[in-house]
Structure 1
Amino acid sequence: MKLVTFETGAERKLGALVGDDRVLDLAAAAADPAFASMQALIEAGERALDRARGLAAQQPDRAILPLSGVRLLAPLPRPIRLRDCSLFLAHMEKALAKWAQSLAEAEPDPKAALEALMATGKYSLKQIFRDQVIYYNGDHLAVSGPGQDIVWPSYSEWMDYELEWACVIGPGGHDIKAADAAKHIFGYTIFNDWSARDVQLPVMDANLGPGEGKDFAAGNGLGPCIVTPDELPDPYALTMTARVNGEEWSRGSTSTMHHSFEDAVVQFSREKPLHAGEVIGSGTVLSGCGFELGRRLADGDLVELEIEHIGVLANRVVRR
C-alpha cells in the first residue's frame, strides 16, 4: 500500500492511494480507531493494516476522493522521533574532500593548503562510520510535506537539498535481533534533509554536529507517502533522482548503502526501546546534494526528489 496523510477542508485524514489519481479515505470507508491517523495505524499493527488493504481492494465509492481535490501532507506530520544516519558512506567521503577543497581555495597556495588539511585526517572518513551507524537526532516537530514552500531562514544564504529516503518503524521492540529487524519496518518514504550550508559548516568545523544548519522550521521533508514493504520488489535496488526546475542534478541508488535500515534497527534498540512511528533517515546518496556538485539553489527553485516505487517529493525554496 501507499499510505498518505491528507487535508480536505479543515480535516486531516488518513488515506491510501488508489491508482495515480484517487485516494481512499480510510476513516470514511470504515469506523475503526486505527484509521484516525498514520500514527494510530502504525500502532494498531498488522490486523489494522490488513483491514486497510481489504478496503483499498474494495474501493467503496463513498470513500474515494480525487487526488486533485485534496492536499497531501507529510505522511507522518509529527513523528515521535527522527534520527538521520550516515548509511551512504560514499557521500560522506566526497563531502569531506569537498569541504577541505573549499577551505583550501581561500588560501594563497590552495594546493599546499589542501595537502595540509588532508594530512590532519579531519577530512577523511573515520573507521567508526564503517563499524557502526552514526546519526544525529533531528527535530521531529520541524517536518514539511509535499508541495509545501520551504521558507529559508534569514540567517542563511546557502540553500541546499539532500536526496535521502527513510524507513518508518512499525512494531517497537527492545534488543531486536538482526534476523528479526525487517519485521519492525512499517514502510519507506522520501526524505529531504534541507541544509543551510553556510551555517552548518562553521559549526561542524568546531567538531560539533550540524546545529542550526539542519535545525529550522520545515527543515525535514517527508513524503509524498509511506510505501509498505510488500510494494517493493527489493528496497535496496531503487533508483534515486533529484531535479531542480526540471533539470536532473542527482542520480543514485539505494543499492549503494553501506549500512542497511535493519542495521540501524538493531543498533537503536540495543538496551533501549525502539518505538512505533520512529523515522530513521538514510543520509545522502552519492552526488545527492548541491554541495557535492558545486551548485547552489536559488530563490524560487523547485526541488523534486524521486525514488522508484515511492513517488516524488516536490518543494519550492523561497527566501524569507
Structure 2
Amino acid sequence: MAPLPIPESIRDFANYELHVRQAIRSAMQLRASAAADPQAAFDGYAQAGLLDVPPVWYEMPLYYKGNRFSCIGHDQTVEWPDFAEKMDYELELAVVIGRPLRNATPKEAMDAIFGYTIFNDFSARDMQSRETSFRMGPAKGKDFDTGNAFGPCIVTPDEIGDPYKLRMRVRINGEELVDTVSGGMQHDIAKCICHVSRSETLYPGEILGMGTLGNGCGYESLSFLRAGDVVELEVEKIGILRNTLGHRR
C-alpha cells in the first residue's frame, strides 16, 4: 500500500524548467499530429508563441490538484485507463505536511514537513494533451484509478539532510534512462509550501509533489510506456518505488 493510502490532498507542481520546456514542445507536437498538415500546424504554434514558457511560471509556483482516492504503493499494478493510448511515468520528489499551517514563513514551511517520499504521477498523455488545449486541466489525463503511486515509505527530514542533493533515477524494465539530482527547482520547497498556504490552511497528511525533473518522463521525448512495463523510480535515502503498467482492456 501507499504510505498514505488516502492523503488529505494531492498537489503537484511544475518546477523544473527543462521538463517544462520539453513538455510544452511535446504537447504541441501531439496536438499538431492531428492536423491535416502537422508540420504547418506545429510551425503555426511556434509563431504564436505557444512553445514559450509563460512568464507567470517564473513568477510563482504553479500546480494542479490530483485525485487523493487513486493512490497505490510499491509493487502495485497501474491500471491502463480505457480512454488512453499514450501512458507515461514521472520522476518526482514529494513532501508530506505534518502540522497545520497558514500564511507560512519559509522557516515555518520547512518545519511543517513530516517527511519525503517518491511520487510517480502516471499520466495519459493523449488525453492530457487534448483537454489542456482548452487551457484547463489536467483532469482525466491524470485522474484514473491507481494513477498516483507513492512510496515505498516516508522518510523524515532528519534522515534526508539536504533535499536538493538527492540522486534520482528511472529504470524501465531494468534499463536505466535517467540519472539526475533533485536540485534545480525554479521555486524551492519552502516557497511552494508558502504559496499554497496563502490565505489557506494546510493540514497534516497533505502531499505536495515538487515537480517532474528534466528528462524525468517519456513525454519529453515522445516515448511512451507499453503494457507490462516495469517502472522503477529510485531516490537516494528513500528507496525504490516500483510499479507495473497493466494491459489495455
| Alignment TM-score, normalising by the size of structure 1 | 0.74
Structure 1 Cα separation of the partners of residues 64 and 8 of structure 2: 15
1:318 aligned to 243, 246, 249, which one?
246
Match of 1:289 among 214, 217, 227: 217
Any idea what SS the aligned residue of 2:219 has?
Answer: helix
| Structure with more contact order per residue of length (Cα contacts < 8 Å, sep ≥ 6) | 2
Deviations 1:133-188 (A, max 9, x none): 11111111110100101111111121111111100001111111123221011110
CA distance in 1, matches of 2:179, 2:22: 15
Are positions 1:181 and 2:85 aligned together?
A: no
1:197-246 deviations in Å (ceiling 9; x for gaps): 11111001121111111000011110001011111231111111111100
1:117-128 correspondence runs (5 A): 117-128=45-56
Instruction: Give the structure 2 partner of residue 84 of structure 1.
Output: 12
Query: Which residue of 2 is the match for residue 148 of structure 1?
Result: 76
Counterpart amino acid of residue 242 in structure 1: V
Counterparts of 2:243 and 2:39, CA distance in 1: 38
One-letter amino acid of the counterpart of residue 162, structure 1: E
Q: Distance in 1 between matches of 2:140 and 2:37?
A: 32
CA 1:170/1:114 → structure 2, altered by over 3 Å: closer, same or farther?
same
What one-letter code is carried by the residue in structure 2 that aligns with 1:211? A
Q: Does residue 212 of the first structure (1) align with residue 168 of the second (2)?
A: no
Matches within 5 A, 1:54-133: 73-104=1-32, 111-133=39-61
2:181 aligned to which of 235, 253, 262:
253
Unaligned 5+ runs, structure 1: 1-72
Q: Which AA in structure 1 matches 2:206?
A: E
State, as a whole percentage, how many aligned pairs show the same letter: 42
User: Structure 1 counterpart of 2:235, which letter?
Assistant: I
Q: 1:100, CA displacement in angstroms? A: 2.2
Distance 1:113 1:165, change over 3 A: same
Q: In the alignment, is residue 197 of structure 1 matched against residue 125 of structure 2?
A: yes
- TM-score, normalised with respect to structure 2: 0.94
Alpha-carbon offset, residue 110 of structure 1: 5.2
**Backbone CA RMSD of aligned residues:** 1.6
In the alignment, which residue of structure 2 is the partner of 1:304? 232
Q: Paired residue for 2:161, among 224, 233, 246?
A: 233
Say if 2:55 is the partner of 1:160.
no
CA distance in 2, matches of 1:302, 1:141: 23
> 1:99 and 1:75, CA in 2 relative to 1: closer, same or farther beyond 3 A?
same
Moved more, 74-83 or 84-93: 84-93
Is residue 276 of structure 1 aligned with residue 204 of structure 2?
yes
Distance 1:98 1:159 in 2: 14
Q: 1-side partners of 2:64 and 2:29: how far apart?
A: 25
Q: CA deviation at 1:313?
A: 0.3
Distance of 1:160 and 1:145 partners within structure 2: 17
Summarize the alignment of residues 35-54 of structure 1 with structure 2, pairs less than 5 Å apart: none
Structure 2 gap ranges (5+):
none
Structure 1 or 2: larger helix share?
Answer: 1
Shift, 1:122, TM fit:
2.3
Offset, 1:123:
2.6
Quick check: 1:88–1:256 contact (8 Å CA) kept in 2? yes
